[in-house]
Amino acid sequence: MGDSTPADQYLDAAAGLLQRVREEESENIAAAGRLLAGTVAAGGRLFAFGAGHSSLAAQDVVYRAGGLALMNLLVVPGVVGVDVMPATLGSALERVDGLAAAVLGSSPLRAGDALVIISLSGRNALPVEMALEARALGVRVIGVTSVAYAAETSSRHSSGSYLKDHCDIVLDSKIAVGDAELTHDSVPAPFAPASTVVTAALLQSVMATAAVALADSGIEPPLLRSGNVDGGHDWNGRVLEEYGDRIFYRH
Tens of pLDDT, residues 55-90? 999 999 999 999 999 999 998 887 876 777 787 777
Is residue 51 predicted with pLDDT exceeding 90?
Answer: no
Which residue in 151, 89, 94, 90 sits closest to 117, CA to CA? 94
- Indicate the helix (H) or strand (E) that contains 37: helix 26-41
The CA-CA-CA angle for residues 164, 135, 47, to 5°, reads 85
Average pLDDT, stretch 210-232? 97
pTM for the whole thing? 0.94
Q: Which residues pair with 142 in a beta bridge?
A: 116, 169
DSSP state of 3: T
Average pLDDT, stretch 136-154? 94
Whether the bond into 188 is cis, omega within 30 of 0 = no
